[in-house]
């Protein structure tokens, strides 16, 4: 029975799929790290009293959130041609840029909402202690706001992880693309797609459970 299981089409596809999973996780993690940096900047800019700063950040958020990530990655990969920027963009680079920009726009709203949710009294308390506005944000407001960001940031990880499946259109060898390559070669479509879905679930379900536990622990 064990030998039959190991010889099944489900198990045979795993080495091929795990190769794609590595790239999926790489794109997701790097894209989200860069996306958080971009999102933090844009989120704080959305709270700025400077009209130009606020305007630029708002346009960025609305444009990115108002267009599908599939269109964004195709624009980056096909639209930003060598004639326009002087370099060829690889599929992997385009995928990371797309996740960074897309996640950054949503994280900007997470940051803006979290900071905005902190009671104004915290800002006033910092100023009464002689702290500058920047110091108040850094030492008093930001730590409290970041605590509230953790659950939605975790949800963004899940969303971005699933969004990487769209990058098969530019031949990035992520999980779904490798699954398609495998079942095109073996004609084992059902078995391969079942394993692709199970691998996604093996990541998203534990992540969701961990997020719920963190949310309860932090009481946010």
Task: Report whether pLDDT(95) > 90.
Answer: yes
Q: Could you tell me if 65 and 106 are in contact, meaning their C-beta atoms sit under 8 angstroms apart?
A: yes
Place of tokens 């080495």: 15
Residue 200 or residue 217, greater confidence: 200
Which bin fits 67, alpha (ψ -120 to 50), beta or left (φ > 0)? beta
The three-state secondary structure class of 203 is helix
22-33 tens-digit pLDDT = 999 999 999 999
Q: Of the ranges 3-12, 52-61, 201-210, which one carries the lowest mean pLDDT score?
A: 3-12
Mean pLDDT of 180-191: 90
Residue 103, pLDDT score: 97
**How many angstroms separate the CA atoms of 46 and 106, rounded?**
12
Task: Report whether pLDDT(8) > 50.
Answer: yes
Residue 42, pLDDT score: 97
Alpha helices in 118-165 (DSSP H): 120-128, 133-136, 142-163
Q: Of the ranges 15-24, 54-63, 69-78, 136-145, which one carries the lowest mean pLDDT score?
A: 136-145
47: number of CA atoms within 13 Å, CB side? 19
Q: Could you tell me if 70 and 98 are in contact, meaning their C-beta atoms sit under 8 angstroms apart?
A: no
Q: Which two tokens stand for residue 120?
A: 């104004």
**How many angstroms separate the CA atoms of 47 and 25, rounded?**
32
**How many angstroms separate the CA atoms of 39 and 43, rounded?**
6
| CATH number, span 22-171 | 1.10.3720.10
Q: Does pTM top 0.85 for this prediction?
A: yes
Mean pLDDT of 67-71: 95
**How many angstroms separate the CA atoms of 75 and 81, rounded?**
9
Task: Report whether pLDDT(50) > 70.
Answer: yes
Task: Report whether pLDDT(196) > 70.
Answer: yes
Structural element, H or E, at residue 171 = none
Banded pLDDT at 2 (limits 50, 70, 90): very low
Q: Could you tell me if 19 and 85 are in contact, meaning their C-beta atoms sit under 8 angstroms apart?
A: no
Cα 48 to Cα 105, 141, 184, 220, distances in angstroms? 16, 15, 52, 25
């Amino acid at each position: 029975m064990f030998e039959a299981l190991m010889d099944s089409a489900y198990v045979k596809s795993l080495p091929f799929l795990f190769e794609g999973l590595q790239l999926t996780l790489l794109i997701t993690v790097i894209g989200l790290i860069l996306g958080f940096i971009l999102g933090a900047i844009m989120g704080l800019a959305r709270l700025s009293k400077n009209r130009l700063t606020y305007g630029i950040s708002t346009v960025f958020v609305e444009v990115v959130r108002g267009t599908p990530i599939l269109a964004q990655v195709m624009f980056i990969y096909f639209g930003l041609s060598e004639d326009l920027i002087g370099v060829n963009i690889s599929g992997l680079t385009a995928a990371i840029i797309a996740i960074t920009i897309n996640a950054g726009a949503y994280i900007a709203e997470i940051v803006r909402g979290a900071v905005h949710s902190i009671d104004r009294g915290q800002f006033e308390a910092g100023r009464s202690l002689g702290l500058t506005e920047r110091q108040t944000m850094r030492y008093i407001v930001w730590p409290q706001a970041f605590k509230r960001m953790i659950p939605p940031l975790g949800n963004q990880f899940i969303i971005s992880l699933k969004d990487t499946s769209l990058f098969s259109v530019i031949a990035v060898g992520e999980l779904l693309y490798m699954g398609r390559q495998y079942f095109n070669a073996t004609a084992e479509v059902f078995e391969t797609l079942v394993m692709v879905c199970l691998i996604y679930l093996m990541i998203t379900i534990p992540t969701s459970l961990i997020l719920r536990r963190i949310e309860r622990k932090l009481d946010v």
